[in-house]
Structure 1
Amino acid sequence: MGQSASQAHAFYKDVAKNKKVWTIRDEGGYPAPKTRTGQRSQPFWSTLSRVQKIIKNVPAYNGFEPVELSWDEFRDKWLPGLTKDGLLVGVNWSGKNATGYDLDAPWVRECVEIQIKELANA
Structure 2
Amino acid sequence: MTGRRWAGTARPPTRRRWARSGSCSRAGLTSARSSTRRSARCLDYDEARGTDLAQTLDAFCATGQSVTNTAQALQLHVNTVAQRPARIGRLLGESWREPERLLEVQIALRLLKVSKGQPRR
Same fold (TM over 0.5): no
Give the structure with the higher percent strand.
1
Q: Which has the higher relative contact order, 1 or 2, with Cα contacts under 8 A spaced 6 or more apart?
A: 1
- Find the structure with the greater CA-based Rg: 2
Normalised by the length of structure 1, the TM-score is 0.33
Greater helix proportion? 2
TM-score relative to the length of structure 2: 0.33
